[in-house]
Amino acid sequence: MGEFFDRRLDEYEDHQLNCIESAHEFYKYTAKCLPMECGCRIIDLGCGTGLELEEYFRLNPSAKVTGIDLAPGMLNRLREKFRDKDVNLILGSYFEVPFGIERFDAAVSVESLHHFTADEKRPLYEKLRKSLKPGGFFILTDYMILSDEEEAFYRKELLRLKAEEGIADNEFYHYDTPLTVDHEKECLLSAGFSSVEILNHWAETYTIKAIR
């Protein structure tokens, strides 16, 4: 997965901002949902080159951000952009990196989690919830769909493509397998978040707020 994004690094931001409907709007919107207190601590799952952080640092330049990503090139690009900001970048998988307990005021993830099943995400969301301070929350802006049939179709298609290309079941293959909005909400609730609310959407990109 990291290699997939690093190979496309030079076109990445242009593609992300201009080929996904309303991207300029949802990056700004996501940033506005994050805490504005001076020095607050944020964790960003799959931060990439930090598109969601550009607007956020404009609004809250003193935020302390921990970003986790698998792609070293994406993290280097982020580091170059925010040299004067308080960023702690971790190269690794958010499924494996420990987040700590009650460390963050909020968490954010944009366009990163739509490759994983609810069963894969639940333990990640449990770990994330525990890493939030009381009153903390998670802002998830991601590709989601509405019908169960479509969700099942993408999952089946992924398995077919992997079988066709001789890729093992446990190996990562870059193919979008979004959950339905309802399944994403259920997954967050089953991980212990106390309330989960859809804040906004633009075509198939939804912003969900899950409160610890």
Ligand X SMILES: C[S@@+](CC[C@H](N)C(=O)[O-])C[C@H]1O[C@@H](n2cnc3c(N)ncnc32)[C@H](O)[C@@H]1O
- Binder among 93, 158, 159, 192 for ligand X (CB under 6 A): 93
> What token pair was written down for 42?
């944020």
40, 63, 65, 71: residue in contact with ligand X (rule CB under 6 A): 71
Task: For residue 148, report the phi and psi dihedrals to the nearest 5 degrees.
Answer: -60, -35
Stretch that binds ligand X, among 32-40, 110-118, 142-150, 184-192 (CB under 6 A): 110-118
Spatial separation of the C-alpha atoms in residues 97 and 20, rounded to whole Å: 29
**Rounded CA separation 187/119 (Å):** 8
Q: How far apart are CA 166 and CA 160, in angstroms?
A: 10
| Identified binder of ligand X from the candidate list 66, 112, 131, 180, rule CB under 6 A | 112
Q: Which is nearer to ligand X, 17 or 135 (CB)?
A: 17
Binder of ligand X out of 8, 16, 28, 173 (CB under 6 A): 16
- Considering only 51, 140, 144, 188, the residue that binds ligand X (CB under 6 A) is 51
74: contact with ligand X by CB under 6 A: yes
Q: Which DSSP helix (H) or strand (E) runs through 42?
A: strand 41-45
Distances (CA, A) of 16 to 13, 71, 210: 5, 16, 24
Binding flag, residue 76, ligand X (CB under 6 A): no
Q: Interface with ligand X by CB under 6 A: which residues?
A: 1-2, 5, 16, 46-49, 51-52, 68-71, 74, 93-95, 110-112
